[in-house]
Structure 1
Amino acid sequence: MYLHYSAISDVGRVRRENQDSGYAGPWLLTVCDGVGGAVRGDLASSTAVQALRKLDQEPDDDILGQVAGGVHRADDRIAELVEEDPALNGTSTTATIALFDGRRFGIGHIGDSRAYLYRRGELRQLTHDHTFVQSLIDEGRITEEQSRSHPHRNLILKALDGIRHEEPDLFEVPAEPGDRIFICSDGACGTLGPERMADILSTGTPDFAAVEMVRASLEAGSTDNVTCIVADVAEEAPDADLQPLLVGAAADLPRRMPLGGAVGGLFRGHRSGDTGEIPPVPADVPAGAFAADPIDPEAARYAPRPPGRYAWLRRLLVAAILLGLAWVVLAAGWSWSQQQFYVAEHDGRVAIFRGIDADLPGLSLSHPYELTDVDLDLLSEIDAEAVRDGIESDDLDDARLTVDNYAARQDVSSE
């Protein structure tokens, strides 16, 4: 079976920038919604999509392993960006992926973008949101309808941020001819109810359904970026001119509109033109190879740059500083310990010890400082037991005074 697909992304009527990114190809459908805001959520989503689009080739038998690997590579790419520029710390993105092998979908999901299956007139949500309001829904405290207006509806519990390395949800969905897959950012599913989405998906081509879904979301009052991908499973191959689509923050090429009109004519009162189409990989380039792709400047713009020439020196200096601080702390602790004294038993006699009456594995924190002639056998059982347990002293003079007291008691006992 084959995929007939369409993808569109719109900045919406409120946001100044589009932080969504999406990709649709013959084997791969994915939507990533940046969560960074001021710390460049658009950079996180576009970086993730650029890494995930490498999956757009015929999968092997381990389809979920390939999806998981793609998610981990995307997370690693974001980690590299944050490591190079600490100002990006806090940027993150959702990721919803559907990898197709001609008979089934391998689904990977993290965050609150969603994947739906429309089959024989029924719409089924495939993914489960990783959000605070979804946990309230799961506990029965609020309804799905109430979640759309909840004050914390945008609080995401899991995302790709290059730091926490969250594991995605992974599962397979068997495909049937006539299935329609719908993947979207929360700008659509957070506004439209299941009935409205099912109504839109029930008619028209994938391109018509994707455009109509974006328009309906904005007309319903969506204040977010809206990205929608619609793909039909069919037994007939698509037209040869159907090329992979890269949309949203990850794209900068104008997209052809099969409906015969510009995007701006569809959504009055908001910015448009965020979508793009990428040409096919040249025939002489191996499948999945994009290293020398001249038609995708965003790949170069958002790709992590290699570390600076002296990155190793920077790491060495940081390590040296940390080791120096550790040495200072240890030296200060050791110096303090050598000003402490206590009285205890040594070889059957009372002795003054210098240091702390404690030991670490493989390391003694004290040593005998002054040995005396006071014999524990000549002391009372109570005094001898006290010495064996160790007697703390304020200083060396205090320790010597304690020894003198025991010496006097020893003399009395011996008389």
Structure 2
Amino acid sequence: MFLHYSAISDVGRVRRENQDSGYAGPWLLTVCDGVGGAVRGDLASSTAVQALRKLDQQPDEDLLGQVAGAVHRADDRIAEIVEEDPALNGTSTTATVVLFDGNRFGVGHIGDSRAYLYRRGELRQLTHDHTFVQSLIDEGRITEEQSRTHPHRNLILKALDGIRHEEPDLFEFPAEAGDRVFVCSDGACGTLSDGQMLDILSTGTPDFAAVELVRASLEAGSTDNVTCIVADVAEEAPGEDLQPLLVGAAADLPRRMPLAGAVGGLFRGHRSGDTGEIPPVPGEDVPAGAFAADPLDPEAVRYAPRPPGRYGWLRRIMVAAVLLGLTWIVLAAGWSWSQQQFYVGDQDGRVTIFRGIDADLPGISLSHAYEVTDVDLERLSDIDAETVREGIEADDLDDARLTVDNYAARQDVEAG
């Protein structure tokens, strides 16, 4: 059997650079997602895909052994680039690898990119996320739906970083004619529900489905890069015009091309009209139209360092002034509240009403004597005197005066 495939990677509507990389060929499907927040996630994902794409040849019998070896080599290559440039320490990427031998699939997986199987009208998730929220789902503490909005949904527990040398999940399954395999970054599966993915994957060609999945992810509000690979298992070989596809940060070719990077016409969607050709947004220093003739790689421009903004010192002063103002407001509000509080305590052996709170900060007193009464602690019982020395909270000034009156009456009783 043969694979008919398509691949597309889109930077999305929020991120400035694409940290996803993907590859689709006659034997191999893989998606790597540079872990957000890490140093040069785009470099990690593209390095991994460039290493993994060497798998794209007819496999031998040891399908999983080849997948595991390729994942380890990708990890070693990341370790090499970090050793060459220590500033890259911390870069990492997910990796989901699907290797086809004509009759079965071998899968290697690490991170939170995913692989799905659409077979006979049903969609099944093949991989298991290595994330903090997935551990909460496994423990029954949250649902799959709740995980989509969890504040720690992007926390990855396992990734290729060249340091920890994590072992990937490995498994295989038989292929059937009519199967459709879907591999994606979390920009798609983290936004779309299983029902939405099933609806799109159940119709159309791989080209059609890949475009629709990306379009639907962006329209559903994905704030991440989105990479989708769709491949059908068929008994007939694909046309000669279907070439291996390299997309995202790992792409070697200029990015102004049809969405999936395929040789051939444009892809069209069925729900919102023609998705057509979506050219990349030129960088600030690249004139519109430069992609067609300029030999400069637009990906290099996209990731090129940018000059620091002007008047950075003024921005820092303004931020500091705002923080100082907020601090002053908080302290003033706290002081105002404290001066509306009262308690009864001891001052020089006299029962005294204090204004403020019965506490002190280093070098700062948070209360002061408000009314010194003529109730003498020595004329009270030992228990009452000790209670006053420890401080007696009052709801307000009237409540504090009532407490003093009670101790004045007790003083008269003790004296009588």
Common topology (TM > 0.5) = yes
Spell out, residue by residue over 1:233-254, the C-alpha distance to the aligned partner (whole angstroms, 9 max, x if none): 0000001110000000001334
Q: Whole-Å Cα distance in 2 between the matches of residues 197 and 72 of structure 1?
A: 31
1:283-310 deviations in Å (ceiling 9; x for gaps): xxxxxxxxxxxxxx99x9xxxxxxxxxx
Partner of 2:50: 50
| Partner SS, residue 236 of structure 1 | coil
Are residues 1:260 and 2:266 paired? yes
Q: How big is the shift at 1:14?
A: 0.2
Cα distance, 1:7–1:268 mapped onto 2, change above 3 Å: closer
Deviation at 1:259, TM superposition (A): 5.1
Counterpart AA for 2:29: L
Number of positions where the alignment pairs a residue of Structure 1 with one of Structure 2: 280
What corresponds to 1:128 in structure 2? 128
Q: Which amino acid aligns with 1:228?
A: C
- CA contact 1:32–1:94 (8 Å) conserved in 2: yes
| Post-superposition offset of 1:220 | 0.2
Cα pair 2:47 2:250 within 8 Å, conserved: yes
2:208·2:268 contact (CA, 8 Å) conserved in 1? Answer: no
Partner of 1:150: 150
Structure 2 partner of 1:293: none
Find the counterpart in structure 2 of residue 349 from structure 1.
none
Letter in 2 for 1:54: K
**1:173 maps to what in 2?**
173
* Deviation sequence 1:201-223 (CA, Å, 0-9, x none): 00000000000000000000000
Match of 2:141 in 1: 141
Give the TM-score normalised by the residue count of structure 2: 0.64
- 1:226 is aligned with what amino acid? V
Q: Which residue in 1 is equivalent to 2:116?
A: 116
The one-letter code sitting in structure 1 at the alignment partner of 2:11 is V
Residue 323 of structure 2 aligns with which residue?
none
CA contact (8 A) 2:67 2:106 kept: yes
Q: Separation in 1 of the partners of 2:191 and 2:276?
A: 16
Counterpart in the other structure of 1:15: 15
Change (3 A) 1:160 1:170: same
1: CA distance, partners of 2:139 / 2:12: 32
- Residue 96 of structure 2 contacts residue 113 of structure 2 at CA under 8 Å; is this kept in 1? yes
SS, match of residue 212 in structure 1: helix
1: CA distance, partners of 2:250 / 2:125: 26
User: In the alignment, what sits opposite 2:70?
Assistant: 70
Q: CA separation in 2, counterparts of 1:222 and 1:267?
A: 20
SS in 1 for 2:108: strand
- From the superposition, tell whether residues 142 and 205 of structure 1 become closer, same or farther in structure 2 (CA, over 3 Å): same
2:239 equivalent to 1:239: yes
Supply the AA of the counterpart residue of 2:13: R
| Aligned-partner Cα distance in 2 for 1:43–1:7 | 19
1:203 pairs with 2:174: no
Tell me the secondary structure at the aligned position of residue 71 of structure 1. helix
Assess, with a 3 A threshold, how the Cα gap between structure 1 residues 216 and 272 changes in structure 2: closer, same or farther. farther
Amino acid at match of 1:171: F
Q: Secondary structure at the match of 1:183?
A: strand
Report what 2:224 is aligned to.
224
Q: Contact 2:177 / 2:233 at 8 angstroms: preserved in 1?
A: yes
Q: Is the 8 A contact 1:114 1:129 kept in 2?
A: yes
Per-residue CA distance 1:251-295 (angstroms, 9 max, x = gap): 1334446553699x738999569xxxxxxxxxxxxxxxxxxxxxx
Cα distance in 2 for partners of 1:230, 1:30 equals 11
Asked whether the 8 Å contact 2:2–2:26 carries over to 1, the reply is yes
Give the 3 Å change call, closer, same or farther, for CA 86–126 of structure 1 in structure 2: same
Structure 1 unmatched runs, 5+: 274-296, 301-415
Mind listing any 5+ residue stretches in structure 2 that lack a counterpart?
Answer: 283-296, 301-416
Once residues 40 and 10 of structure 1 are traced to their aligned partners in structure 2, the CA distance between those partners, rounded to angstroms, is 18
Q: Is the 8 A contact 2:12 2:223 kept in 1?
A: yes
Amino acid at match of 1:168: P
Alignment CA distance shift 1:163-1:211 (3 Å): same
Following superposition, the deviation at residue 37 of structure 1 comes to 3.4
CA–CA distance in structure 2, aligned partners of residues 267 and 12 of structure 1: 16
Between the aligned residues of both structures, percent identity stands at 83
Change (3 A) 1:262 1:211: closer
Deviations 1:24-77 (A, max 9, x none): 000000000001536100000000000000000000000000000000000000
Q: SS state of the match for residue 65, structure 1? A: helix
Asked if structure 2 preserves the Cα contact closer than 8 Å seen for 1:13 and 1:269, the reply is no
Instruction: Please tell me whether residue 3 in structure 1 is matched to residue 3 in structure 2.
Output: yes
The residue identity in structure 2 corresponding to 1:116 is Y
Secondary structure, aligned partner of 1:146: helix
